[in-house]
Amino acid sequence: MSDWLTPGLAHLWLPYTQMKTAPAPLPVVSSQGVRLTLADGRELVDGISSWWTACHGYSHPHIRAAIEAQLAALPHVMFAGLVHEPAARLAARLAALLPGDLERVFFTESGSVAVEVALKMAIQYWRNLGREQKQRIVYFRHGYHGDTFATMALCDPEEGMHALFAGSMPDQIMAELPTDGNLGRAFDLLLDTHAERIAAVIVEPLVQGAGGMQMHDAATLACIGEACRRHEVLLIADEIMTGFGRTGRMFACEEAGVVPDIICLSKALTGGTLPLAATVARRHVFEAFLADDPGAALMHGPTYMANALACAAANASLDLFASEPRLAQVAAIEAQLATELAPCGELGGVADVRIKGAIGAVELCGAIDLDGLRRRFAELGVWVRPFGKVVYLMPPFVIEPDDLSLLTGAVRRVLTERAAALP
């Protein structure tokens, strides 16, 4: 291990990490199913699916075989003036799976970029229709849509990761989620007042992920969708985290019967194997870009967009959703999380316990030693990485009940220890 770890750490810059004080990262050498194997031979049950991506677990043979076959044939080719089968097949399959007429797929490599493309689509949509003043985006408190500059401007302004850049970002409009009648009326008034300058509303349907695993119901999402239609504002659904079964439906917006004008997908799209994202637009959005004027086209083109290896992995992942009982597995995970995390609600230092699909979140209060919590979870043989005030589980859908109980048991134990140590 020392032949790569020690020399490498001298040059790595890790994400979301104060490199001066943070403990050393754990060296992983292999993965299989729901387990990560460390260089010292220890195994950790992964409770967060590598940032919510590994929905089928690690090293699924069907996805691995698809990547190997594609590697032998065509690893990558530029996607301007050229096209290839994995991307064409994937676009058609996504259009068939998504609700309504979400049918035009623009591929990128990451969720943040998928959101940036959605913003460009929304703003240029109105510009192409002669309504150039519609340029602002409405987002919601506790929202998170990425770490690039345009997406940072759509995150909760009190979110610590982005506060340093407040003066450098575009000025957008934050709203409260319309979770009750009064907030619904306030949201409607906001759109009514500013409709002539609002291009789109962006929302994480049902669960706001990195903003603290905040959850809202289908009625709230339906309220947002109806208000957008009424005030001629596009609706962007950021399903980068919620898409592909995580909330119990293939796509979270389906629970409310809402068809957004644009949807953003990533994370579990390739089953946690290769970087890929997609921004998918409804027919009327796409048609606004069709003109004799070349300037009306969408001017965006990531170098590695529609990477053939990643598209092959995504097609294989969709095969597994079709052939294996993923949504039934999510329902079983939801029931087990609800039962086994419920006792956390009685502990000192716990503010709330929330469950939705294969997401279990325990919100803490009081002083929180994140590094200490993470270290203790690893000592117990699980990979759980709390952030902010939330200890959460988002395991692979293929996890067995006994392994899920290892995760929930570790959460109960660690939070019980924390409660005992509180003043």
At 169, the pLDDT band (50, 70, 90 cuts) reads confident
At 170, the pLDDT band (50, 70, 90 cuts) reads confident
Q: Which residue is it, tokens 């703003």?
A: 123
Please report the pLDDT score of residue 156 as a whole number.
Answer: 86
For residue 53, count CB atoms less than 10 angstroms from its CB and return exposed for 0-12, middle for 13-18, buried for 19 or more. buried
Q: Is 304 a catalytic residue?
A: no
Q: Which part of the chain is CATH 3.90.1150.10?
A: 5-56+325-421
Can you read off the two tokens belonging to residue 242? 């919620």
What does the pLDDT average to over 337-348? 98
CATH number of 5-56+325-421: 3.90.1150.10
| Marked catalytic residue, from 58, 125, 139, 238 | 238
Separation between Cα atoms, residue 383 and residue 49, nearest integer Å: 9
The DSSP symbol for 165 reads G
At 133, the pLDDT band (50, 70, 90 cuts) reads very high
Q: Is 125 a catalytic residue?
A: no
What does the pLDDT average to over 25-49? 97
Please report the pLDDT score of residue 163 as a whole number.
Answer: 77
What does the pLDDT average to over 65-75? 98
At 162, the pLDDT band (50, 70, 90 cuts) reads confident
Please report the pLDDT score of residue 2 as a whole number.
Answer: 62
Global pTM value: 0.97
Q: Which is higher by pLDDT, 370 or 159?
A: 370
At 165, the pLDDT band (50, 70, 90 cuts) reads confident
Query: How many other CB atoms sit within 10 Å of the CB of residue 103?
Result: 17
| Marked catalytic residue, from 125, 139, 261, 267 | 267
CATH number of 62-323: 3.40.640.10
Whether residue 1 is predicted with pLDDT greater than 70 in this model: the reply is no
Please report the pLDDT score of residue 257 as a whole number.
Answer: 98
Which residue type is seen at 408?
Answer: T
Whether residue 158 is predicted with pLDDT greater than 80 in this model: the reply is no
Nearest 5°: phi and psi at 387? -140, 150
Q: Is 16 a catalytic residue?
A: yes
pLDDT averaged over every residue in the chain: 96
Q: Is 389 a catalytic residue?
A: no
| Marked catalytic residue, from 144, 156, 356, 403 | 144
Phi-psi category of 96—alpha, beta or left, where left has phi over 0 and alpha has psi -120 to 50? alpha
Please report the pLDDT score of residue 159 as a whole number.
Answer: 64
Residues 355-399: tens digit of each pLDDT: 999 999 999 999 999 999 999 999 999 999 999 999 999 999 999
Residues 172-198: tens digit of each pLDDT: 999 999 999 999 999 999 999 999 999
Please report the pLDDT score of residue 160 as a whole number.
Answer: 59
Whether residue 11 is predicted with pLDDT greater than 90 in this model: the reply is yes
